[in-house]
Amino acid sequence: MITLTFIGYGNVAQHLIKAFLNNSEIKVQQVFLRDASKAIYPAIDFEFISDWNQLTPADIFIVAVSDDYIAEVSSQIPLKNQLVVHTSGSVGLDTASDQNRRGVFYPLQTFTKGKKVDFKEIPICIETEFSSDLDVLKKIAKAISNKTHIINSQQRKALHVAAVFINNFTNHMYQLGSEICQENQIPFAILEPLIAETAAKVTHLSPFEAQTGPAKRNDQKTINAHIDFLKSDAIKQSIYKLLTQSIQENGKKL
């Protein structure tokens, strides 16, 4: 039985806790948050605490807090010689306090409060300061996911940047497209099949091979018409021009 204690109770922590509770080889024993009275107490046998002195030893402490607080929060753990891992994709392993053994347990997914996810399909990226700690992180990762990857801090930083492009920025493109639809009395739902097909294509084609559109075809007449259409919105027009240029420059690389 591998014992876990969570420091933090936000979206990532709550999703991870639910995933671990379904595994008989993992025991969540404590969850630390600043105000335990605000916790939603599920009908399970771990305790919520808000006093650092109530922490008891565990096989792994999972620090699931905002990046800016990882160093401060991990330094507050009063126990020594514990394996303390954070869940961030954008900061290094050495961000956590060195008073304990350090590691990273990064689930590569976007988490929304109240929306269920299938952890079996979520890549878990792990890293440890000491090779002797790697096996236990592998065990808990494989207990909830079919996709475990050993990724170092530099690789994880690159991965997080890539994830921002394909997730956060792409979602913002949806928002801009939605605004254009609303302004022209068009239901955004009409674009949903296109969104689904675009996402599906890159599961069997490279993004370069899947690229279509006027920039890919160098259809300057259509590009100019689009730019003119967007003349009342300088930001959308600038984004359109920049992405068009990026697609065309990328096509010149081969």
Q: What is the model's pLDDT at position 132?
A: 92
Q: Stretch 183-200: mean pLDDT, rounded?
A: 95
Same domain (yes/no): 41, 106: yes
Query: Is 92 found in the same domain as 23?
Result: yes
Q: What is the CATH number of the domain that holds 201?
A: 1.10.1040.20
Ramachandran angles phi, psi of 96, nearest 5°: -70, 155
- Two structure tokens written together for 76: 């507050």
Which whole-number Å values give the CA distances from 166 to 1, 13, 221, 250, in the listed order? Answer: 37, 23, 28, 17
Question: Which CATH number do you get for residue 144?
Answer: 3.40.50.720
Same domain membership, residue 232 and residue 129: no
**Higher confidence at residue 252 or residue 209?**
209
Q: Do residues 40 and 72 both lie within one domain? A: yes
Q: Exposed/middle/buried for 243, CB within 10 Å: 0-12, 13-18, 19+?
A: middle
Rounded distance between C-alpha atoms, residue 224 and residue 216, angstroms: 14
Q: Is the pTM of this model over 0.75?
A: yes
Range(s) of the domain holding residue 70? 2-151
pLDDT of res. 34: 81
The answer on 141 and 90 residing in a single domain is yes
**How many domains are contained in the chain?**
2
Q: Could you give the CA distance from residue 145 to residue 248 in angstroms, rounded to a whole number? A: 38
Domain check: are 131 and 72 in the same one? yes
Clarify whether residues 142 and 204 are in a common domain. Answer: no
Under the banding of pLDDT at 50, 70 and 90, the label for residue 57 is very high
Choose the final residue of a domain: 111, 127, 151. 151
Q: Residue 141: is its pLDDT beyond 70?
A: yes
pLDDT of res. 254:
58
Among residues 16, 111, 91, the alpha carbon closest in space to that of 60 is found at: 16
In the sheet that holds 26-32, the strands lie side by side as 47-49, 26-32, 2-7, 60-63, 83-86, 101-107, 124-128, 148-150
Please check whether residues 44 and 128 belong to one and the same domain.
yes
* Long-range contacts, stretch 129-137, CB < 8 angstroms, 24+ apart: 129/93, 129/101, 129/102, 129/103, 130/101, 133/83, 133/101, 133/103, 136/2, 136/59, 136/60, 136/83, 137/60, 137/83, 137/85, 137/103, 137/105
**What is the overall mean pLDDT for the chain?**
91
Give tens-digit pLDDT for 11-50: 899 889 989 988 888 999 999 988 766 666 555 678 888 8
User: Is the pLDDT score of 115 beyond 80?
Assistant: no
pLDDT at residue number 181: 97
Host H or E run for residue 63: strand 60-63
Residues 6+ apart with CB under 8 A from 132: none
Mean pLDDT of 178-197: 96
Domain limit, last residue, from 151, 170, 199: 151
Which residue carries 């996810």 as its tokens?
Answer: 117
Contact 3, 59 (CB under 8 A): yes
Instruction: Provide the pLDDT for residue 195.
Output: 95
Least confident of 31-45, 67-81, 116-130, 234-248: 31-45
Cα–Cα distance measured from residue 251 to residue 254, given in angstroms and rounded to the nearest whole number: 6
Asked whether residue 58 falls in the same domain as residue 35, the answer is yes
Considering 151, 170, 203, which residue would you say is the last residue of a domain?
Answer: 151
The backbone region for 116, taken as left when phi is positive above 0, alpha when psi lies in -120 to 50, beta otherwise, is: beta
Q: Do 174 and 105 share a structural domain? A: no
Q: Is the pLDDT of residue 114 over 80?
A: no
Q: Are residues 37 and 143 in the same domain?
A: yes
Residue spans of alpha helices (H) in the chain? 11-21, 70-75, 134-144, 153-163, 170-183, 192-201, 207-210, 214-217, 220-229, 234-251
Q: Which pLDDT belongs to residue 26?
A: 92
Same domain, yes or no, for 142 and 161?
A: no
| pLDDT exceeds 70 at position 122 | yes
User: What confidence score (pLDDT) does residue 44 get?
Assistant: 63
